[in-house]
Amino acid sequence: MNYDLIIARYGEIGLKSSKVRSRFERKLVKNIKATIDCDVDRNQGRIYIFPEDFDNAIDKLNMVFGIVSYSPAISTYSTFEDVDDTLSKYTQELIKEDIIDENTRFAIRCRRVGEHDFSSQEMAAFAGGVVRRQIKAPVDLTNHELTIYLEVRDNDTYIYHEKIQGPGGLPLGTQGKVVVLLSSGIDSPVATYLMMKRGCEVIALHFDADPFASEAVVNNAKKLVDRLQEYAKGAPIKTHIVKYGEYLQAAKDFAPEKMTCVLCKSGMYKIAEKLANHYGALAIVDGSSVGQVASQTLDNILATRYGVDMPILSPLIGLDKTEISEIAEKIGTFEISKMDDGGCSAVPKYPETHADLERIKEAIEDMGQDEQVQKAFENIH
């Protein structure tokens, strides 16, 4: 099929005020152009994309947040004569591509915007007759197998038969910045993706736990960032790595061993808060899911967030591992996260699962956490 353009649709953007909607549309257009080589027009709730490479565009548009669905289409003028000619050729292509045959139940759906001397129903009935002249397929408006759409917009009419699902959400970069605690595991990349889907620009912060973790952990985290960058066109992910081994050693040396994981997460949040303030980010994001690991019981979530003034968002908080893994597979991070990198040897045999906040405060003081956090922050790269 020789398509002319791709029609992209958005969802909740249309619920915004006209001023906000216009700003979000402009950002969405910018992100589309950063993802594929194309020209873009926007008009009346639709975005019309004219790509240089159609196949590449079809593959890449499902990575642009804010797009709910999109359709490769052909265009013609809004007259019966032009629709007849264009739709006849379109139907012939559908026949050649085995998309429709004499047994295919089909329907015509027509949507019309503007002033015309015909109704949507009249154009739909006419278009159905055009298709039937090309192939004697049955019309079935209730249980159809194929839908051919006509969008009549003023003097232009667009014809298509596919609606490809996009990622939805809000355009990346419209909701401010967040600092994400990004490990090499399954959860945090999914949390990153979900915050990007809500329009947040991401600053990824990875904690290098050497000598308690191997270089493979850092390398896998970098691979995850590379994968997530494919969704970040228009607002690329900034990545920082902090040397965290000295902090962990201090926690093990000067606090009860079972508190290591709680103190580890506490330090991460406080370093992330400093980095967020540096960039003007408005929140910290992690991959916590209630009860999934020792540091994510409700008691420990309370204890680890002590002393942090910035909001900490956990988009996976109510999901189980199966649900999180399904998203990871969908976005292409699962196989990277499953690579064996040895994990972290600082984890105690019996980690604290119900931390007492007062005892955590004592441990924080005993290990000199403020000094250790500042030292680690100064060595971020």
Residue 293: per-residue pLDDT: 80
Do 118 and 226 sit in the same domain of this protein? no
What tokens were used for 218? Answer: 């850092």
Do 155 and 197 sit in the same domain of this protein? no
Rounded CA gap, 142 and 250, in Å? 69
Rounded CA gap, 234 and 33, in Å? 8
Do 188 and 274 sit in the same domain of this protein? yes
Do 228 and 147 sit in the same domain of this protein? no
DSSP summary character for residue 141: S
CA proximity to 209, closest of 256, 258, 252, 242: 242
What tokens were used for 276? Answer: 């967020």
Residue 272: per-residue pLDDT: 98
Do 353 and 215 sit in the same domain of this protein? yes
What tokens were used for 143? Answer: 């249980």
Dihedral of alpha carbons 198, 203, 208, 214, sign: positive
Look at residues 124, 145, 165 and tell me which one is the last residue of a structural domain. Answer: 165
From residue 323, alpha-carbon distances to 79, 320, 375, 379 in Å are 49, 5, 38, 36
CA proximity to 259, closest of 362, 372, 371, 182: 362
Q: What is the pLDDT of residues 265-320, one digit of tens each?
A: 999 999 999 999 999 999 999 999 998 887 789 999 999 999 999 999 999 999 99
Classify strands 146-153 and 156-160 as parallel, antiparallel or unpaired: antiparallel
Looking up residue 275, the CATH number of its domain turns out to be 3.40.50.620
Residues in the chain: 381
Rounded CA gap, 168 and 193, in Å? 12
Look at residues 143, 165, 187 and tell me which one is the last residue of a structural domain. Answer: 165
Task: Identify whether 49 is part of a domain.
Answer: yes
Look at residues 136, 165, 194 and tell me which one is the last residue of a structural domain. Answer: 165
Do 140 and 37 sit in the same domain of this protein? yes
Do 215 and 66 sit in the same domain of this protein? no
Q: If 0-12 CB within 10 Å is exposed, 13-18 middle and 19+ buried, where does residue 232 land?
A: buried
Looking up residue 15, the CATH number of its domain turns out to be 3.30.2130.30
Task: Identify whether 134 is part of a domain.
Answer: yes
Residue 291: per-residue pLDDT: 86
Residue 336: per-residue pLDDT: 97
Rounded CA gap, 284 and 287, in Å? 11
Residue 185: per-residue pLDDT: 95
From residue 68, alpha-carbon distances to 44, 47, 88, 165, 220 in Å are 16, 11, 29, 6, 31
Task: Identify whether 111 is part of a domain.
Answer: yes
pLDDT tens digits in sequence order for the chain, 381 residues long: 889 999 999 999 988 999 999 999 999 999 999 999 999 998 878 899 999 999 999 999 999 999 999 999 999 999 999 999 999 999 999 999 999 999 999 999 999 999 999 999 999 999 999 999 999 999 999 999 999 999 999 999 999 999 999 999 999 999 999 999 999 999 999 999 999 999 999 999 999 999 999 999 999 999 999 999 999 999 999 999 999 999 999 999 999 999 999 999 999 999 999 999 999 999 999 999 998 887 789 999 999 999 999 999 999 999 999 999 999 999 999 999 999 898 899 899 889 899 999 999 999 999 999 999 999 999 999
Terminal CA-to-CA distance of the chain, rounded, Å?
49
What tokens were used for 257? Answer: 């061993």
Please list the alpha-helical segments (H only) found in 230-317: 245-254, 260-279, 298-304
Do 271 and 372 sit in the same domain of this protein? yes
Q: What is the pLDDT of residues 108-145, one digit of tens each?
A: 999 999 999 999 999 999 999 999 999 999 999 999 99
DSSP summary character for residue 67: -
Residue 44: per-residue pLDDT: 77
Among left, alpha and beta (phi > 0; psi -120 to 50; other), residue 343 is left
Domain count, the chain: 2
Domain interval for residue 273: 177-378
